[in-house]
Chain A
Amino acid sequence: MLLIEKLVKSYPGQHGQDAMLALRDISFKVEEGSFFTLLGPSGCGKTTTLQCIAGLEHPDTGLIQMGGKTMFSSRENLIVPANRRELGMVFQSYAVWPHMTVFENVAFPLVYGIKRAPTQEMRTRVLKALEMVELGQFADRPAPLLSGGQQQRVALARALVHAPRLLLLDEPLSNLDAKLRDTMRTEIRNLVKSLGITTIFVTHDQVEAVSMSDQILLMRAGKIVQQGSPRDIYLSPNSVFTADFMGRSNLITGVLDRSGETARAHTALGPISGVAGPALKPGASVVVVVRPQGIRIASTSESSGLNCFKARVQNMNFLGDVVEMQVDIQGSKLTLMLNPYTAISVGQELTLEFPPERCVIVPSEVPSSCGPLK
Chain B
Amino acid sequence: MNGPTVTSNGRPGTGLDQQKLVQSLLLVVVSVLVLGPVLVLIRTSLAPSEAMPFETLDFTLKHYAQLLQSPRTISLMWNTVVYALSSMTIGVAIATAIAWCTERTDMPGRTIVRILMFAWMMVPALVIGFGWILLLNPGNGALNVLFRELFGYLQPILTIYSFWSLIIITSFAVVPTGFVMISGLLRNMDPNLELAARVHGGSSWATLTRVTLPVLTPGLFSIGIYMFMAVVQAFDLPLIIGLSADVPVLSTRVYLLSSPDNGLPNYGLAASFGVLLLVLAAGLMWAYMRAIRLGERFRVVTGKAYRPKRITLGLWRFAAIGFTFSYCAAMMLPLLILLWVSLLPHYSTPSLSAFGGLSFDTYRRLLTNPMISRAIGNTIILVISSATIVMLISCLIGWFTVRSNSRAGKILDALSFLPMAIPPIVLVLAILLLYLNTPLYGTIWILVLGHMTIYISFGVRTMSSALIQLHKELGDAALISGASWLTSLQKVTFPLVWPQILNGWLWVFAHSARDLTVPLMLMTTSNIVAASTLWNLWQFPDLPGAAALAMLLMTALLAVVVPSQLYVSSRLER
Contact of B481 among A55, A76, A92, A162 (CB under 8 A): A162
Whether, in the assembled complex, A153 has its beta carbon less than 8 Å from a beta carbon of chain B, the answer is no
In the bound assembly, the distance between CA atoms of A83 and B8 in angstroms comes to 10
In the bound assembly, the distance between CA atoms of A331 and B405 in angstroms comes to 55
Q: A81-B8, A83-B479, A83-B484 are in contact. Are A99 and B14 (CB under 8 A)?
A: no
Instruction: List the 4 shortest-distance A-B pairs measured between CB atoms, nearest first.
Output: A113-B482, A81-B15, A95-B477, A109-B481
Are A95's CB and B7's CB within 8 A?
A: no
Whether, in the assembled complex, A322 has its beta carbon less than 8 Å from a beta carbon of chain B, the answer is no
Are B471's CB and A83's CB within 8 A?
A: no
30 contacts between A and B (CB under 8 A): A56-B479, A56-B480, A72-B4, A76-B4, A77-B4, A78-B7, A79-B7, A81-B8, A81-B14, A82-B476, A83-B480, A83-B484, A83-B485, A84-B14, A87-B480, A88-B481, A91-B477, A92-B473, A93-B471, A95-B474, A95-B476, A97-B477, A97-B478, A97-B496, A99-B495, A99-B496, A108-B483, A113-B482, A113-B483, A162-B482
Whether, in the assembled complex, B328 has its beta carbon less than 8 Å from a beta carbon of chain A, the answer is no
Q: 5 other contacts beyond A58-B4, A74-B4, A89-B476, with CB at 8 A cut-off?
A: A58-B3, A79-B16, A83-B14, A113-B483, A158-B481
Whether, in the assembled complex, A54 has its beta carbon less than 8 Å from a beta carbon of chain B, the answer is yes
Q: Give min CB distance, A264 to chain B, whole Å.
A: 52
Considering the complex, give the chain A residue whose CB is closest to the CB of B495. Answer: A99
Residues of A within 8 A of B484 (CB): 83
Whether, in the assembled complex, B487 has its beta carbon less than 8 Å from a beta carbon of chain A, the answer is yes
Whether, in the assembled complex, A98 has its beta carbon less than 8 Å from a beta carbon of chain B, the answer is yes
Q: Give min CB distance, B378 to chain A, whole Å.
A: 36
Whether, in the assembled complex, A214 has its beta carbon less than 8 Å from a beta carbon of chain B, the answer is no
Q: Give min CB distance, A84 to chain B, whole Å.
A: 5
* Interface residues of chain A: helix, strand, loop or mixed (majority): loop
In the bound assembly, the distance between CA atoms of A81 and B4 in angstroms comes to 12
In the bound assembly, the distance between CA atoms of A82 and B473 in angstroms comes to 13
Whether, in the assembled complex, A115 has its beta carbon less than 8 Å from a beta carbon of chain B, the answer is yes
Q: Mark B388-415, 1 if CB is under 8 A from A, else 0.
A: 0000000000000000010000000000
Considering the complex, give the chain B residue whose CB is closest to the CB of A77. Answer: B4
Are B474's CB and A97's CB within 8 A?
A: yes
Q: List A106-134 residues whose CB lies under 8 Å from chain B.
A: 108-109, 112-115
In the bound assembly, the distance between CA atoms of A81 and B487 in angstroms comes to 14
Whether, in the assembled complex, A80 has its beta carbon less than 8 Å from a beta carbon of chain B, the answer is yes
Whether, in the assembled complex, A86 has its beta carbon less than 8 Å from a beta carbon of chain B, the answer is yes
Q: A95-B476, A98-B496, A99-B495 are in contact. Are A79 and B4 (CB under 8 A)?
A: yes
- Most chain A beta-carbon contacts within 10 A, residue among B4, B6, B11, B484: B4
Whether, in the assembled complex, B469 has its beta carbon less than 8 Å from a beta carbon of chain A, the answer is no
Are A80's CB and B477's CB within 8 A?
A: no
Contact of B6 among A81, A89, A114 (CB under 8 A): A81
In the bound assembly, the distance between CA atoms of A93 and B4 in angstroms comes to 30
Classify chain B: how many residues form its interface, as a range. 20 to 34
Considering the complex, give the chain B residue whose CB is closest to the CB of A97. Answer: B492
In the bound assembly, the distance between CA atoms of A96 and B477 in angstroms comes to 8
Residues of A within 8 A of B8 (CB): 81, 84
- Most chain B beta-carbon contacts within 10 A, residue among A58, A78, A83, A93: A83
Q: Mark B1-28, 1 if CB is under 8 A from A, else 0.
A: 0011111110100111000000000000
Contact of B480 among A73, A88, A92, A99 (CB under 8 A): A88
Residues of A within 8 A of B476 (CB): 54, 56, 82, 89, 91, 95
- Most chain B beta-carbon contacts within 10 A, residue among A88, A92, A112, A114: A112
Q: Mark A165-204, 1 if CB is under 8 A from B, else 0.
A: 0001000000000000000000000000000000000000
Residues of A within 8 A of B210 (CB): none
Residues of A within 8 A of B482 (CB): 83-84, 86, 109, 112-115, 162
Q: A79-B6, A95-B473 are in contact. Are A112 and B478 (CB under 8 A)?
A: yes
In the bound assembly, the distance between CA atoms of A58 and B153 in angstroms comes to 82
Are B483's CB and A83's CB within 8 A?
A: yes
Interface residues of A (CB under 8 A from B): 12, 54-56, 58, 72-74, 76-89, 91-93, 95, 97-99, 108-109, 112-115, 155, 158-159, 162, 168
- Most chain A beta-carbon contacts within 10 A, residue among B476, B482, B487, B492: B482
In the bound assembly, the distance between CA atoms of A115 and B482 in angstroms comes to 8
Considering the complex, give the chain B residue whose CB is closest to the CB of A12. Answer: B405
Are A83's CB and B15's CB within 8 A?
A: yes
Are A84's CB and B492's CB within 8 A?
A: no
Q: List B475-528 residues whose CB lies under 8 Å from chain A.
A: 476-485, 487-488, 491-492, 495-496
In the bound assembly, the distance between CA atoms of A88 and B476 in angstroms comes to 11
Residues of A within 8 A of B6 (CB): 79-81
Residues of B within 8 A of A87 (CB): 480
Residues of B within 8 A of A84 (CB): 8-9, 11, 14-15, 482
Q: Give min CB distance, A150 to chain B, whole Å.
A: 16
Residues of A within 8 A of B471 (CB): 93, 95
Contact of B487 among A78, A112, A162 (CB under 8 A): A112
Q: Give min CB distance, A340 to chain B, whole Å.
A: 43
Q: Give min CB distance, A20 to chain B, whole Å.
A: 14
In the bound assembly, the distance between CA atoms of A173 and B296 in angstroms comes to 36
Are B496's CB and A91's CB within 8 A?
A: no
In the bound assembly, the distance between CA atoms of A80 and B14 in angstroms comes to 10
Are A89's CB and B477's CB within 8 A?
A: yes
In the bound assembly, the distance between CA atoms of A112 and B490 in angstroms comes to 11
Q: Give min CB distance, B11 to chain A, whole Å.
A: 8
In the bound assembly, the distance between CA atoms of A108 and B487 in angstroms comes to 11
In the bound assembly, the distance between CA atoms of A88 and B8 in angstroms comes to 19
Considering the complex, give the chain B residue whose CB is closest to the CB of A114. Answer: B482
Are B14's CB and A78's CB within 8 A?
A: no
In the bound assembly, the distance between CA atoms of A73 and B4 in angstroms comes to 8
In the bound assembly, the distance between CA atoms of A83 and B483 in angstroms comes to 6
Residues of B within 8 A of A83 (CB): 14-15, 479-485, 488
In the bound assembly, the distance between CA atoms of A12 and B496 in angstroms comes to 31
Residues of B within 8 A of A112 (CB): 478, 481-483, 487, 491
Q: Give min CB distance, A292 to chain B, whole Å.
A: 39
In the bound assembly, the distance between CA atoms of A58 and B474 in angstroms comes to 19
Considering the complex, give the chain B residue whose CB is closest to the CB of A81. Answer: B15
In the bound assembly, the distance between CA atoms of A97 and B473 in angstroms comes to 10
Considering the complex, give the chain A residue whose CB is closest to the CB of B10. Answer: A84
In the bound assembly, the distance between CA atoms of A83 and B487 in angstroms comes to 11
In the bound assembly, the distance between CA atoms of A92 and B474 in angstroms comes to 11
Residues of B within 8 A of A54 (CB): 476, 480
Q: Give min CB distance, A98 to chain B, whole Å.
A: 7
Residues of A within 8 A of B485 (CB): 83
- Most chain B beta-carbon contacts within 10 A, residue among A77, A95, A109: A95
Residues of A within 8 A of B405 (CB): 12
Q: Give min CB distance, A116 to chain B, whole Å.
A: 9
Residues of B within 8 A of A58 (CB): 3-4
In the bound assembly, the distance between CA atoms of A73 and B8 in angstroms comes to 14
In the bound assembly, the distance between CA atoms of A295 and B405 in angstroms comes to 53
Q: Give min CB distance, A308 to chain B, whole Å.
A: 55
In the bound assembly, the distance between CA atoms of A125 and B6 in angstroms comes to 32
Residues of B within 8 A of A86 (CB): 482
Residues of B within 8 A of A12 (CB): 405
Considering the complex, give the chain B residue whose CB is closest to the CB of A78. Answer: B7
Residues of B within 8 A of A168 (CB): 480
In the bound assembly, the distance between CA atoms of A91 and B477 in angstroms comes to 8
Contact of A80 among B7, B495, B496 (CB under 8 A): B7
Are A77's CB and B481's CB within 8 A?
A: no
Residues of A within 8 A of B487 (CB): 112
In the bound assembly, the distance between CA atoms of A113 and B492 in angstroms comes to 13
Q: Give min CB distance, B574 to chain A, whole Å.
A: 10
In the bound assembly, the distance between CA atoms of A18 and B241 in angstroms comes to 58
Q: Give min CB distance, A360 to chain B, whole Å.
A: 39
In the bound assembly, the distance between CA atoms of A97 and B484 in angstroms comes to 17
Q: Give min CB distance, A12 to chain B, whole Å.
A: 8
Residues of A within 8 A of B15 (CB): 81-84
Residues of B within 8 A of A115 (CB): 482
